[in-house]
Chains A and B, each alone.
Chain A
Amino acid sequence: MPSSVTFATRDAVDFVVIGSGSAGGILAKELSTAGFDVVVLEQGPYRKAADFTHDELSVLIRNELRGGGPELHGQTFRHDENETATMPGTTPLRYARGVGGSSVHFTANFWRFRPLDFKERSLLGPITGTNFADWPITYEELEPYYTRVDWEIGVSGAPGPFDAPRSKPFPMPPMPIKSSGVLLERGAERLGLHAQAEPHAILSKPLNGRPGCISCGYCMFYGCEVGAKSSTLAAMIPLAEASGHCEIRPNCIVTRIDTDDSGRANQVIYLDTDAKEQAQATKAVVLSANGAESARLLLLSENTKHPDGLANSSGYVGRNLMHNSHAVGNGVFEHPLNDYKGVQVSRIIHDFYETDEKRGFYGGGGIDARPLWSATPIFHVLQGMPPDVPAWGADFKNEIAHNFTRQMSIVGSTTSLALDSNNVTLDPESKDAWGRPAIRATYRDHPDDVSMARFLQDRAMELFDAAGAEKSWRRSITPTNGGEHLLGTCRMGDNPATSVVDRSHRSHDVPNLYICDGSSFVTSGRGQPTMTIMALAFRAADLIKAAAANGEI
């Protein structure tokens, strides 16, 4: 569907929003419905709910929603700067391309941060060799925007025993409990832990003209065919387009942001659907391309006034990449769970959220129960089989037949510490399909991140035992080779020497350039960042509107 309004590239619009995902989709909606003229440049296609399929070969194997693999983006990876980065077969930094961004294919676990996440440096003190720091904002400042995410984006759930205060209840009850949730509860009770309902960006009932979940089971990695998953594609983009002030331009590859003689952003250069170069004039730019792409674009936009990249006088653009570490345990039970039906997660455990100095390392995390590998058949066979099963033959077949409906995973998600040595830079050789220098990711989990993941994996195995699993197994945790959570690369802070954006997401260096997405994070939270990305976007929109009203933009 073409946007109802179109803007000429030569006439300056009020805002160009780069990226239409969790942050960009909200900013586009908020700014356009406030009457500003907005052009959204999205690198992927404009899919609608009806375009999403259950085709495991296409989505999972051929990376349909990510637009392809290494041959497309050319990303390289190394664990540290002493290694030569190479292009792995697995895309290191993974995100969807398309209107709605990764909110289209995410699993939709929507945990709020807690007050401690914003001020943990003050609570715990410094951690040598890291950039561990407080946020310049507090939970209390962000709380009204979490509530807007609950109600405007759509979050189902129920309060848990450790939750941060909320100003308004969830707009709808949690999704019903699944067998994996029952078993997690059973294990938790026996271990003295507290299972609680999962807050999910999936509608358990109709909301804002959108239908409730039909429990098809294709959430993780897939797009929602009915619009019950609360992507910005489902919840925000239609409102932005209905405003008459927002033009969505899909399949547009941004190559740089230009600045004028006064150092202000004045146009955005991109390749359109036909790979023809265009220049969209604008009064201001909102960069929400995700924690990998936003950093790269700023580095690509270097010019004589900004020789190290735009908004990068601090040298912090691309630095402090945080993925959240993950731990997985797998188990099989006597009776069928059929956990492939419905949303992934129905119960979580937050007893280990806070850092506990008795553990001997920094960090905290959350635990959830979900089908994971057993959500779809091919994924199950390629990733989810126990290690002691042959790779072919009758025993192989019988094991799949027995396990698929009886298997679940218990997943731990943890903090990541911010480090100079974990970063996004431009690869000196590799190019993407459009000729842009490719993203080079350098990443090695801090030892405390690995320790925390191992701690949660031990708890997962205890939970399987306590819940009565027939069989359980795990793979050992090693430093990650990449991730889906792309956090910290344009850090928010009051000090222009150690951060990229201020507390209103305005870049310290370029007064009409705002950066809001996972890159804004100062700390990583406990493994489910999108709720906070969306809350930040609602808050940033209010601050941008206020700045515009004051004539500052």
Chain B
Amino acid sequence: MPRNTNVSRRQFLQSAGSLSSVAYLRLSGPALAMLAQAAHAAKSESAPYRVLGSDEAADFEAIATRIIPTTDTPGAAEAGVIHFIDNAFADEMSDQLDAARDGLAEFNAALNDTGLAETRFSDLDAASQDAFLHTQEASEFFELVRLMTIFGFFSMSEYGGNKNHVGWDLIGFEGHHGAWTYPFGYYDAE
């Protein structure tokens, strides 16, 4: 039915802002129930990843962890963003898993070209990771992982990330509470 696959794959990013042409969610309607089920199945920390290999998962998680690092507050690691990413590649983005794997391979190849042969991104220390990521900021692969990290950190926990609402707690968003009574903030309470 889509008459132009490239356009439809770009759709998400451009609708979300003036970003690159990285692909994200296909538009097949709400799949929350399916994802929630899958996330539930993969809920325990020891659960194996659904589609990602352990090396791949380590790299994706390492990148996500630099995008939203752990500071004095939880970051992407504590939010379980990697499970969001794994779920997405298992379900809605399954058609993009191969391209993402190619992107990761190129990403690590670029790292190897810096003189670090046989090294994966996840092997580096945080400072080295940050230095390398600055050289990759313009790549579609980095933008893809950046967006998936944002989604995994801030979307409903049912998708597999934002574990225990750590993403929402970080920013003071009490979105899981549902209904509110006035006053809401400092200035309307004054």
Whether B186 lies near A394 (C-beta < 8 A) is no
Given the known A-B contacts A69-B27, A70-B8, A405-B173, are A393 and B66 also in contact in the complex, defined by CB atoms under 8 Å? yes
Given the known A-B contacts A69-B15, A182-B187, A337-B184, are A397 and B170 also in contact in the complex, defined by CB atoms under 8 Å? yes
A432-470 to B contact mask, C-beta < 8 Å, 1/0: 010000000000000000000000000000000000000
B155 to chain A: which residues have CB within 8 Å? Answer: 55-57, 378
Whether A71 lies near B30 (C-beta < 8 A) is no
Whether A383 lies near B17 (C-beta < 8 A) is yes
Comparing B45-53, B68-76, B98-106, B107-115, the segment that makes contact with chain A is B68-76
Whether A179 lies near B154 (C-beta < 8 A) is no
Whether A61 lies near B12 (C-beta < 8 A) is yes
B171 to chain A: which residues have CB within 8 Å? Answer: 377, 380, 400-401, 404-405
Whether A57 lies near B29 (C-beta < 8 A) is no
**Is B168 among interface residues, defined by CB-CB distance under 8 A?**
yes
Given the known A-B contacts A72-B27, A392-B67, A430-B3, are A178 and B15 also in contact in the complex, defined by CB atoms under 8 Å? no
Whether A341 lies near B151 (C-beta < 8 A) is no
Q: Which listed residue, A90, A392, A397, A433, touches B146 by the CB 8 Å rule?
A: A392
Complex CA–CA separation, A549 to B70 (angstroms): 72
**Is B124 among interface residues, defined by CB-CB distance under 8 A?**
no
Closest B residue, CB atoms, query A380: B171
Whether A378 lies near B150 (C-beta < 8 A) is yes
Whether B27 lies near A62 (C-beta < 8 A) is yes
Complex CA–CA separation, A394 to B178 (angstroms): 29
Given the known A-B contacts A69-B8, A337-B187, A397-B170, are A63 and B13 also in contact in the complex, defined by CB atoms under 8 Å? no
B73 to chain A: which residues have CB within 8 Å? Answer: 397, 401
B159 to chain A: which residues have CB within 8 Å? Answer: 57
B14 to chain A: which residues have CB within 8 Å? Answer: 88-90
**Is B80 among interface residues, defined by CB-CB distance under 8 A?**
no
Q: Which listed residue, B4, B15, B71, B156, touches A90 by the CB 8 Å rule?
A: B15
Complex CA–CA separation, A398 to B151 (angstroms): 17
Given the known A-B contacts A57-B155, A178-B188, are A394 and B71 also in contact in the complex, defined by CB atoms under 8 Å? yes
Given the known A-B contacts A56-B154, A381-B154, are A392 and B133 also in contact in the complex, defined by CB atoms under 8 Å? yes
B139-160 to A contact mask, C-beta < 8 Å, 1/0: 0000000100011001110010
On chain A, the number of residues with a Cβ less than 8 Å from chain B's Cβ atoms is: 63
B146 to chain A: which residues have CB within 8 Å? Answer: 391-392
B13 to chain A: which residues have CB within 8 Å? Answer: 89
Whether A336 lies near B185 (C-beta < 8 A) is yes
Given the known A-B contacts A57-B25, A58-B30, A61-B24, are A71 and B184 also in contact in the complex, defined by CB atoms under 8 Å? no
**Is A159 among interface residues, defined by CB-CB distance under 8 A?**
no
Closest A residue, CB atoms, query B158: A55
Highest count of chain B CB atoms <10 Å: which of A61, A214, A433: A61
Other contacts beyond A89-B12, A378-B151: 19, CB < 8 A = A53-B32, A56-B154, A57-B159, A63-B15, A69-B27, A71-B2, A90-B14, A178-B185, A182-B190, A215-B179, A337-B184, A337-B186, A340-B173, A378-B155, A381-B150, A382-B17, A393-B130, A401-B170, A430-B3
- Contacts A/B (CB < 8 Å), 16 sampled: A53-B30, A55-B156, A56-B155, A62-B30, A70-B4, A71-B7, A71-B8, A179-B187, A214-B179, A336-B172, A338-B184, A338-B185, A341-B185, A377-B168, A397-B71, A405-B171
- A residues within 8 Å of B by Cβ? 53-58, 60-64, 68-72, 74, 87-91, 176-179, 181-183, 214-217, 333, 335-342, 376-378, 380-383, 391-394, 396-398, 400-401, 404-405, 430-431, 433
**The 4 residue pairs across chains A and B that have the minimum distance between CB atoms:** A89-B14, A335-B186, A71-B2, A71-B8
- B residues within 8 Å of A by Cβ? 1-4, 7-8, 10-17, 19, 24-25, 27, 29-30, 32, 66-69, 71, 73, 75, 130, 133, 137, 146, 150-151, 154-156, 159, 167-168, 170-173, 175, 178-188, 190
